[in-house]
Amino acid sequence: MPSSRRRFLISSLAVTGMPLLARAQQVGLGGSGALPAGVAQALETARIPQQSCAFVLQPLDSPSPQIAFNGAALMNPASVLKLVTTYAALRILGPAYVWKTPVYATGPIRAGVLQGDLAFVGSGDPHLMADNLWSIAVRLRDLGIRRIRGDVLIDRQAFDLPPHNPGAFDGDATAPYNVGPDPFLVNFGVLRLGFVPDAQAQQVRVTVEPPVAGFDLREAPKLTASACGNWKDKLRADWKQPFAPRFAGGFAAACGPQTWNIAPEVSDNAYVQRLLAALFAQVGIDWKGRVRTANLPAGATELTVWDSPALSVLVRDINKYSNNVMAQQVFLTLALQAGAQRATWGLAQQAVEQWLSTHNLPMPGLVLDNGCGLSRIARISAADLNALLRSAWNSPVMPEFISSLPLAGEDGTLRRHFRDPDTAGRIHAKTGSLDGVLSLAGYAQTRAGQRYTFAALVNDPRAGGAWPALEAFINGFMQTA
């Protein structure tokens, strides 16, 4: 998969604009200092009470904050919570950590035929992609396998999680950001559909990635001459049969090529089954079996092992594009690294809390939940975020951690923000957004060379209108220091 398409898929697993159904009671609302006038005015214009916000700003060479407003308030950080998960992971696992996915045969290989099942043991790899499975299939072919007589077994013992309901958070079960963790997560469980208008043929060509066996476009959209507008709604998509979709509406030529990432509402095994069937066929391996979840049988023979990219590479995808399921995979891996036989949310939080406590970063009010911020109950204070950022700056993993953050006006979720000369390229920060939540935390360097850490959290039904306040907060010290 080309890198540009991979980044598009990764970014589609970020979440914005989700309903915040409830807010836990804020505690620790004490703080010092007052908000700068520009920030206070922007909040007033947006009709957001100051007590719904927390702002902390501290020069890196100063022992105390320059601004600490409601710094102790426990608030929902949305995706800014990924800062905790990724920093802890870089310190606990190390930047060079890789996930290993071994592949086994449960029977002998005779005359090119595997006389048994093929088995994958999931390790929680956050970035096992379709092209990786294709490479594994090539390895198997090169080992002499031309036919698999049995099934494909997936060992998913690494995680012990309740059943995942992708529609539970906001009712959008096909949204890629709602994909749940899986020890054998493949391609983020997502299909990438491309819509390409062909004016000469007067039709819309629909493509699908990765290849999935039996994909059948039942009805293509009609090519129209209307304005592009909200093109997804105009398609009138029917996903009742995810591998045989219908598009009863139209697609405007004015839209140009577009893509739509969809998480099909099928079981993990059904997705993997169609993907492997297509990939095996491509490389010349005959397989007519099915994919089953099962523990690795005793006596199975290891055939090959797939290594993920290093954690230092993966944290860039997690933070720059706010990839939820990747963050969850990493979070659960911390429970395994701490010695758990099977990872749970609770054991992952314990692992992070223990590490924070032993490294002088106690956060008694921290609620990590699933480690990615796609949560109603996650909580952290701006003061604790600021302390974590300062710890990271002085840590051995400082280069890997900071370079993973979106760069203002340049890339990731900050590509369209802070683009003026005083801020573009000078801010590395993580964004967070849910309905009722807006947050930003990271590092900034002024033109004069002064470096700061900062954290800003807004929890209010009108939080979506708080960007001017965040901009006033940042611009206030970037333009004057």
Work out the angle at residue 174's Cα, subtended by the Cα atoms of residues 14 and 9, and round it to the nearest 5 degrees.
Answer: 40
| 210 cis-preceded (ω within 30 degrees of 0) | yes
Evaluate whether 84 touches 380 at the Cβ level (below 8 Å).
Answer: yes
- pLDDT confidence of residue 36: 95
Query: What is the average per-residue pLDDT within 205-216?
Result: 97
- Mean per-residue pLDDT, 338-352: 98
Helix or strand or coil: residue 419? coil
Q: Check whether 306 has a pLDDT greater than 50.
A: yes
Q: Is the pLDDT of residue 28 over 90?
A: no
Enter the tokens of residue 237.
């998509």
Residue pair 397/90 in contact (Cβ under 8 Å)? The answer is: yes
Mean pLDDT of 107-131: 98
- What is the C-alpha separation between 211 and 133, in angstroms, rounded? 12
Rounded-to-integer distance, Cα 147 and Cα 310, Å: 33
pTM: 0.93
Q: Which long-range contacts (CB under 8 A, 24 or more apart) does 416-421 make?
A: 417/467, 417/471, 418/471, 418/474
Taking only the tens place, the pLDDT of each residue in 128-186 is 999 999 999 999 999 999 999 999 999 999 999 999 999 999 999 999 999 999 999 99
Confidence at 479, pLDDT banded by 50, 70, 90? confident
- Enumerate the β-bridge partners of residue 428: 407, 443
Residues 6+ apart with CB under 8 A from 394: none
Helix (H) or strand (E) holding 88: helix 82-92
pLDDT in tens, 355-397: 999 999 999 999 999 999 999 999 999 999 999 999 999 999 9
pLDDT at 171: 95
The two tokens of residue 123 are 């390790």
**Percent of the chain at pLDDT above 70?**
93
**Poorest-confidence range of 15-19, 167-171, 213-217, 258-262?**
15-19
pLDDT bucket at 46, cuts 50 / 70 / 90:
very high
What's the average model confidence in pLDDT over 34-49?
96
Tally of CA atoms within 13 A in the half-sphere of 174 that contains its CB:
16
| Burial of 121 per CB tally in 10 Å (0-12, 13-18, 19+) | buried
pLDDT above 50 for 17: no
Mean pLDDT of 190-203: 97
Q: pLDDT tens, 224-259?
A: 999 999 999 999 999 999 999 999 999 999 999 999
Q: Is the distance from CB of 440 to CB of 405 less than 8 angstroms?
A: no
Q: What is the pLDDT of residue 7?
A: 52
d(CA 212, CA 197): 23
Q: How far is CA 93 from CA 87, 135, 267, 305, 417, in A?
A: 10, 26, 31, 20, 32
pLDDT for residue 26 is more than 60: no
Gyration radius of the chain's alpha carbons: 24
| Mean confidence (pLDDT) of the chain | 93
For residue 285, how many C-alpha atoms fall within 13 Å in the half-sphere facing its CB? 29
Q: What is the structure's pLDDT at 25?
A: 29
> Quick check: helix, strand or coil at residue 262?
strand
Residue whose structure tokens are 């009805």: 219
Task: Say if residue 274's pLDDT is above 60.
Answer: yes
Torsion angle, alpha carbons of 26, 28, 34, 39, to 10: -30
Instruction: Give mean pLDDT, residues 292-317.
Output: 98
Inform me whether the pLDDT recorded for 422 exceeds 70. Answer: yes
